Amino acid sequence: MSKQLQFKLVLLGESAVGKSSLVLRFVKDQFDDYRESTIGAAFLTQTVSLEDGTSVKFEIWDTAGQERYKSLAPMYYRSAACAICVYDITQSASLEKAKSWIRELQRQADPSIVIALCGNKADLAARRQVSQEEAQKFAEEEGLMWCETSAKTGEGVNDIFDRIAHKLPQVAPPQAQRGAAAAKGPGGAGKSVDLNKQGGAGATGPEGCNC
């Protein structure tokens, strides 16, 4: 049987840089010109198949707007295998914000996390404030992947997820790989329990007593 890997991927970046739009393009190949700030989209998944038959399933977390007032919970990126830090090429301040997320990840996340710096809205090159050279140089210095994308035209979107999918199986430690039976905890000590099994909690009647 071919290998199946699952990874948690988080998106970070200033509000309105196009995080949700990138996910929408990648998962559904759609774009929405008047997209509202993210509400309700908690969790999306998408699978990338590699040439060797391995399939890489992304469990994609969007910020749900919690970053707006510097209020993103650390839980959000704690066990992430990869992060895409997004900036808007027409807003130089958004690159500074992306850089500050990268520093936060370097401090708090697992050292093996794969980080991609992503300049979105490449279709608006006429209004460009962030040069390719500047962003690329920063990415190289910090050892990050880098790309420019347009969620609107689709340019570069599949490409960056593809590059991450190829890199992850080589670098992610076993516990970051949420494969079918992989234990996620440090060193995998002790099995995790699944609360959703057995038809939900409290389903056991009094006859469940085995004292």
Ligand X SMILES: Nc1nc2c(ncn2[C@@H]2O[C@H](COP(=O)(O)OP(=O)(O)OP(=O)(O)O)[C@@H](O)[C@H]2O)c(=O)[nH]1
Q: Which residues bind ligand X (CB under 6 A)?
A: 13, 15-21, 32-35, 37-38, 63, 65, 120-121, 123-124, 150-152
Shortest CA distance to 114 belongs to which of 70, 173, 158, 189? 173
- 20's contact among Mg ion, another protein, ligand FAD, none, with CB below 5 to 8 A by partner kind, is Mg ion
Q: How far apart are CA 48 and CA 56, in angstroms?
A: 5
When the beta carbons of 41 and 50 are compared against another protein, the nearer one is: 41
Q: How far apart are CA 103 and CA 166, in angstroms?
A: 24
Q: Does residue number 76 form part of the binding site for another protein (CB under 8 A)?
A: yes
Q: Does residue number 38 form part of the binding site for Mg ion (CB under 5 A)?
A: yes
Backbone angles phi, psi at 39, to 5 degrees: -135, 135
Binding segment for another protein among 13-21, 134-142, 150-158, 181-189 (CB under 8 A)? 181-189
Window 170-209: contact mask with ligand FAD (x via CB under 6 A) = ---------------------------------------x
Q: How far apart are CA 94 and CA 98, in angstroms?
A: 6
Beta bridge partners of residue 116, listed in sequence order: 84, 145
Q: Does residue number 112 form part of the binding site for another protein (CB under 8 A)?
A: no
Question: How wide is the angle at C-alpha 160 spanned by C-alphas 59 and 135, nearest 5°?
Answer: 120
Tell me whether strands 4-12 and 145-148 are parallel, antiparallel or unpaired. unpaired
Among 44, 51, 155, 157, binds another protein (CB under 8 A): 44
Residues at the interface with ligand FAD (CB under 6 A): 209, 211
